[in-house]
């Protein structure tokens, strides 16, 4: 019940935040003192109610409280009330609330809401399993392998895996049912979920060379431990005509046969009889670490859906080369920019392959810059707010180790580098990265610089190619072979939208909301610090000749901020309805601007 109620509250807040079916924008705000006679007994639930009258023939009453972070109104409690004439129905269960939101829709549209109700059940189940696993892990005497804290683990990759696992127990800040890994049952979650972080071995397909498309000829640069045909139980001579392609065991056991039959590949590929390479799941689930060569991470197609029913975690062939192209562009920029040179690290993503342009057969090899990470501690931004076995936040643990407990100094360093890097990319080079909380990793060190950022998986950027090409033609040449045309934009607004929803909201504001408590400050005071830092960086860039007017307007002056409507685009509406080429980039402008002075 606890987990169901938790998910229900998150869902209702998300419905309000994204103004699903105009439940906020066309509602009437009613004081509890003005409720109709039939609803007076609910007056103690909330002092304010939204009266929604366009869901079929009835009226939905939603108890709300004022909010300031990302939405104007949030859920104030239960029940919601559905009124038809004199008949009143109390709504407590999340599935009943979702069904009410689907009233009056066509059968096709309503089916998406019904599917979301099932997603909510999966989220509650997966959260319960994960919370039980966290309690079991934390209660183990050797939970930290004899180390006092995560930063005391023996090497950088062990520390990264530890903080990945802690971050897996923390919900996505905004998508309400992020705990649901749709497609996994309880056994699969335990076997392959990062919350459990159990090791497993990969399966292998032998694929004809004519169907295999590597990013680099002859697989030059692949890990030394990449298996041979003999390693997986096949004749060594097959190497002349075939190539080995890794397959996640969940796909191998559940969906591979159907995919191969549907694609006409079943008779052309050969299943290797032996598994090879021991791996463990990372925070992103479909990316695994090679335990015998931990500087290598392997991104594999995985037939589950996370962060929405449309977000299936296969791999588009275009991303294999595009990610590397953008990585080399970022590296070239960092080399010429003193303010980030030496403080920006990138994973090397040049190695990968796909089979016959199929999204279910391919992979990306990601190599961490091990030479630059010795004696460092890597913590994904997604893990900073996670709870440690000691009960403290991960961020507090890091600040204690690397900043002598000066939490404000840590936050200021992180804030300054994050803003400088992403403003520089946006305003000078026309680049906005989807460097979300998983893809942005804070690198702590005892020696200077104490804090760096490592970015990975940059294949979903938005780049103003004309602007980049006009100002920096040599840099633009890195993108000459760009395959996913959605990356290229023709104006600055998409860059502002990406910066606002990823860098500002997910990577800064979400932290502010919790860091304020750690620092004993109201969130408004910490937002004032963020605003001042933004003004400082923008002033410096303007003095260097960059155009900053749009950034000032959308971030500092406008009353509303851009907000990503992920629940709508990824779950509750078809693409034909939203018009979004990418479900992860469908926006509204309903978030109160927390950077504006009160």
Peptide bond preceding 434: is omega within 30 degrees of 0, i.e. cis?
Answer: no
Q: How many residues does the chain have?
A: 598
Domain membership of residue 278 (yes or no) is no
Domain membership of residue 492 (yes or no) is yes
Q: What is the CATH number of the domain that holds 33?
A: 3.30.310
Mean pLDDT of the chain: 95
Mean pLDDT value across residues 261-276: 97
Domain membership of residue 148 (yes or no) is no
Domain membership of residue 34 (yes or no) is yes
Domain membership of residue 427 (yes or no) is yes
Domain boundary among 82, 107, 132: 107
Mean pLDDT value across residues 25-35: 97
Geometric angle at alpha carbon 291, from 286 and 294, rounded to 5° = 85
- Give the distance, in angstroms, between the CA of residue 91 and the centroid of all CA atoms in the same chain: 31
Question: How much is the pLDDT for 146?
Answer: 65
Handedness of CA 549, 555, 556, 557 (dihedral sign): positive
Question: How much is the pLDDT for 149?
Answer: 82
Domain boundary among 107, 123, 156: 107
Question: How much is the pLDDT for 220?
Answer: 81
What's the structural domain count of the chain? 2
Domain membership of residue 132 (yes or no) is no
Question: How much is the pLDDT for 151?
Answer: 86
Domain membership of residue 121 (yes or no) is no
**Residues 453 and 436 sit within 8 Å (Cβ to Cβ):** no
Q: Domain of 449?
A: 376-592
Domain boundary among 70, 91, 107: 107
Mean pLDDT value across residues 361-390: 96
**Phi and psi torsions of 81, nearest 5°:** -130, 130
Q: What is the CATH number of the domain that holds 567?
A: 1.10.510.40
585-598: per-residue pLDDT in tens? 899 999 999 999 87
Q: Is the pLDDT of residue 68 over 90?
A: no
| Rounded Cα gap, residues 425 and 437, in angstroms | 18
Question: How much is the pLDDT for 557?
Answer: 97
Give pTM, 2 decimals. 0.96
Residue in the structure block whose two tokens are 């497609």? 183
Geometric angle at alpha carbon 410, from 409 and 413, rounded to 5° = 85
Mean pLDDT value across residues 284-300: 97
Mean pLDDT value across residues 185-208: 98
DSSP per-residue string spanning 433-493? ----TTTEEEEE-SSSSSEEEEE---TT-EEEHHHHHHH-HHHHGGGTT---TTSEESSSH
**Residues 369 and 362 sit within 8 Å (Cβ to Cβ):** no
Domain membership of residue 217 (yes or no) is no
pLDDT band at 144 (very low <50, low <70, confident <90, very high): confident
Among 428, 425, 194, 150, smallest CA distance to 289 is for 194
- Give the distance, in angstroms, between the CA of residue 443 and the centroid of all CA atoms in the same chain: 19
**Residues 167 and 134 sit within 8 Å (Cβ to Cβ):** no
274-286: per-residue pLDDT in tens? 999 999 999 999 9
């Amino acid at each position: 019940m606890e987990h169901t109620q938790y998910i229900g509250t998150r869902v209702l807040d998300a419905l309000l935040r994204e103004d699903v079916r105009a439940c906020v924008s066309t509602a009437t705000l009613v004081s509890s003192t003005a409720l109709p006679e039939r609803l007076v007994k609910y007056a103690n639930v909330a002092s304010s109610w939204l009266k929604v009258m366009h869901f079929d023939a009835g009226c939905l009453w939603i108890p709300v409280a004022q909010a300031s972070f990302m939405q104007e109104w949030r859920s104030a409690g239960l029940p919601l009330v559905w009124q038809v004439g004199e008949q009143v129905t109390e709504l407590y269960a999340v599935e009943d609330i979702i069904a009410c939101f689907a009233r009056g829709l066509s059968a096709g549209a309503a089916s998406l809401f019904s599917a979301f109700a099932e997603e909510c059940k999966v989220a509650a189940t997966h959260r319960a399993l994960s919370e039980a696993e966290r309690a079991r892990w934390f209660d183990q005497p050797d939970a930290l392998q004899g180390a006092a804290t995560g930063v005391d683990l023996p090497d950088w990759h062990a520390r990264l895996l530890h903080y990945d696992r802690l971050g897996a127990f923390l919900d996505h800040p905004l998508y309400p049912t992020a705990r649901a890994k749709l497609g996994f049952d309880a056994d699969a979650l335990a076997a392959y979920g990062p919350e459990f972080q159990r090791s497993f071995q990969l399966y292998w397909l032998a694929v004809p060379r004519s169907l295999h498309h590597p990013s680099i000829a002859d697989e030059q640069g692949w890990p030394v431990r990449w298996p041979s045909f003999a390693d997986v139980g096949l004749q060594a001579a097959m190497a002349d005509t075939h190539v080995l392609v890794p397959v996640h065991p969940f796909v191998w056991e559940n969906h591979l046969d159907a995919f191969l039959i549907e694609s006409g590949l079943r008779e052309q590929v050969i299943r290797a009889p032996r598994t090879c390479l021991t791996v463990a799941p990372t925070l992103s689930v479909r990316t695994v670490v090679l335990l015998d060569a931990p500087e290598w991470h392997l991104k594999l197609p995985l037939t589950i859906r996370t962060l929405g029913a449309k977000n299936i975690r296969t791999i588009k062939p275009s991303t294999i080369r595009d990610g590397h192209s953008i990585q080399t562009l970022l590296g070239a920029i960092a080399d010429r920019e003193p303010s980030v040179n030496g403080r920006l690290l990138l994973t090397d993503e040049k190695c990968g392959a796909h089979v016959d342009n199929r999204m279910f057969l391919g992979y990306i090899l990601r190599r961490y810059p091990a030479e630059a990470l010795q004696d460092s501690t890597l913590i994904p931004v997604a893990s900073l707010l996670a709870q440690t076995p000691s009960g403290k936040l991960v961020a507090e643990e890091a600040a204690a180790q690397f900043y002598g407990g000066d939490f404000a100094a840590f936050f200021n360093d992180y804030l300054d580098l994050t803003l400088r890097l992403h403003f520089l990319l946006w305003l000078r080079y026309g680049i906005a990265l989807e460097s979300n909380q998983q893809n942005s990793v804070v690198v702590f060190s005892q020696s200077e610089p104490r804090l760096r950022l490592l970015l990975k998986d940059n294949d979903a950027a938005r780049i103003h190619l004309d602007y980049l090409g006009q100002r920096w033609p040599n840099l633009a040449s890195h993108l000459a072979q760009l395959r996913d045309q959605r990356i290229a934009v023709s104006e600055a607004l998409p860059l502002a939208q990406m910066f606002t929803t990823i860098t500002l909201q997910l990577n800064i504001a979400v932290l502010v909301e919790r860091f304020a408590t750690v620092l004993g400050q109201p969130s408004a005071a910490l937002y004032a610090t963020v605003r001042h830092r933004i003004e400082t960086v923008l002033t410096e860039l303007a003095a260097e000749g960059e155009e900053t007017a749009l950034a000032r307007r959308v971030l500092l002056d406008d009353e509303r901020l851009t907000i990503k409507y992920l629940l709508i685009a990824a779950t509750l509406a078809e693409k034909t309805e939203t018009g979004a080429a990418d479900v992860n980039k469908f926006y509204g402008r309903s978030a109160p601007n927390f950077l504006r002075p009160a």
